[in-house]
């Protein structure tokens, strides 16, 4: 069961990252919205749900610092994705950085689990 949860979480994170990057890189606002709503949003929800299930199966405390920081960073990144596709003209290098940097930090926290 644990390995299946890990695989599902990996696929959810891949959908989240692909949708988030596509929400910035696609040229047309409609395409950016499709990336955000068809990939990033379900990937975000699934990665959170599966992350909670994984934390439950492997006795990690949900109030561990690395989990709380990862939750905050992924939530922030997803909010910037929604901001970026909310209106045309919001696709800037700063927006891209505010999407990608927290995602990379979140993935780093999930991989290395500092203090776990």
Residues of the chain where predicted confidence (pLDDT) is lower than 50: none
Q: In the prediction, which pLDDT does 27 show?
A: 93
CA dist 43 and 53 (Å) reads: 15
8 Å CB contact between 100 and 14:
no
Exposed e or buried b for every residue in 9-48, given b needs 16+ CB within 10 A? Answer: beebbebbbebbbbbbebeebeebbbbbeebbbebbebbb
* The pLDDT of residue 116: 66
Q: Tell me: the pLDDT tens digits for 19-40?
A: 999 999 999 999 999 999 999 9
| Residue ranges covered by each domain of the chain | 2-112
Measured between its terminal Cα atoms, the distance across the chain in Å is: 21
pLDDT, position 55: 87
**Do 109 and 103 form a contact (C-beta atoms < 8 A)?**
no
What does the pLDDT read at residue 50?
96
């Amino acid at each position: 069961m644990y390995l299946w949860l890990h695989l599902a979480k990996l696929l959810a994170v891949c959908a989240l990252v692909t949708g988030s990057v596509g929400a910035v890189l696609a040229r047309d606002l409609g395409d950016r919205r499709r990336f955000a709503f068809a990939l990033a949003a379900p990937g975000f929800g699934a990665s959170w749900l599966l992350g909670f299930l994984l934390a439950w199966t492997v006795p990690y405390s949900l109030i561990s610092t690395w989990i709380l920081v990862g939750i905050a960073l992924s939530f922030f990144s997803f909010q910037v994705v929604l901001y970026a596709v909310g209106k045309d003209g919001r696709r800037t290098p700063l927006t891209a950085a505010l999407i990608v940097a927290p995602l990379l930090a979140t993935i780093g926290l999930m991989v290395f689990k500092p203090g776990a």
